Amino acid sequence: MTVDIHVEFRVSDAVKAVKRGDAIVIIDVLRCSSTIITALANGASEIVPAPTIGKAKQLKKRHPNYILAGERKGLMPQGFELGNSPREFTREKINGRSIILTTTNGTKAFEIAKDAKPVLVGSFLNAGAVGKALYEGANKNNRGISLIACGRATRLSIEDFICAGKILEMMPTDELTLSDGAHAALFASKGAGEKVAELVCSSEHGRYLKSIGLIKDIEFCSRINRYTDVPLFAKGKIRTGKFSKL
């Protein structure tokens, strides 16, 4: 059996993956995906992604107990309780709570992918677990896989691109049919080798986060396989997924 693998480079290209009927992985290393993975690993009961601040505030009105979190230009919007730094989502703050999350780019990808199945969340933090879940799920269901490297402001981001390659490195790629984009991501990830953290730090988005005092987020988001959870987005909510249900 062959599994077709695509890597897309912008949020808007998730539309193509939805049309193909692929399993989708949303990758926004800095920082939406990393925040979602960390929050769930630290006991959040679910994350509700919202594409806009207005939508997030409406949800908060309906669910006053949910934590309102997110960023614009990297910083917490006025009236929010948490920003989008994965380091803020500690067990003490969020254990058992539901979170509404709106970010500049990443949460828009969920809106586009809402009718796809399955939709997973990947970053360096859980690359190994995502690779394993994808391969097992795709084999069972005979569907293609699209890794959406969300990028930044409609442009490619090297950290998301390399992360897509890192997830591919965790899969038996000789059994898969890679698009040229997927081949390129795999080459980039292998080329990055041990220098992932350095590359994330020197990326455009990394440099921006550094300029607003968030260098520790870059270090946090560059760690590979810190978690084994695979968040799954379904019916408007992201929860920790079970491999068998993909």
- What backbone phi and psi angles, to 5 degrees, belong to 31? -140, 5
Q: Count H helices and E strands in the chain, helices first.
A: 11, 10
Task: Using the structure block, give the residue that is written with the tokens 């795999």.
Answer: 186
Binding residue for ligand MLT (CB under 6 A) from 84, 173, 189, 240?
A: 84
Q: What's the closest the beta carbon of residue 1 comes to ligand MLT, in angstroms?
A: 35
Residue with Cβ nearer ligand MLT (74 or 122) = 74
Report how many residues bind ligand MLT under the rule CB under 6 A. 11
What single DSSP character describes residue 145? E
Task: Using the structure block, give the residue that is written with the tokens 């591919």.
Answer: 168
CA 78, CA 95: separation in Å to the nearest integer? 23
Q: Is 105 in the site for ligand MLT (CB under 6 A)?
A: yes
Q: What's the closest the beta carbon of residue 121 comes to ligand MLT, in angstroms?
A: 12
Residue with Cβ nearer ligand MLT (106 or 241) = 106
Q: Is 125 in the site for ligand MLT (CB under 6 A)?
A: no
Tell me the torsion sign for CA atoms 157, 162, 166, 168. Answer: positive
Q: Is 38 in the site for ligand MLT (CB under 6 A)?
A: no
Residue with Cβ nearer ligand MLT (143 or 152) = 152
Binding residue for ligand MLT (CB under 6 A) from 86, 106, 144, 241?
A: 106
Binding residue for ligand MLT (CB under 6 A) from 8, 13, 71, 160?
A: 71
Stretch that binds ligand MLT, among 53-61, 100-108, 171-179, 187-195 (CB under 6 A): 100-108
Q: Is 32 in the site for ligand MLT (CB under 6 A)?
A: yes
- What backbone phi and psi angles, to 5 degrees, belong to 90? -85, 160
Contacts 24+ apart (CB under 8 A), 12-16: 12/112, 12/154, 13/148, 14/109, 14/112, 14/113, 14/146, 14/148, 15/112, 16/146
The contact set with ligand MLT (CB under 6 A) reads 28, 30-32, 71, 74, 84, 103-106
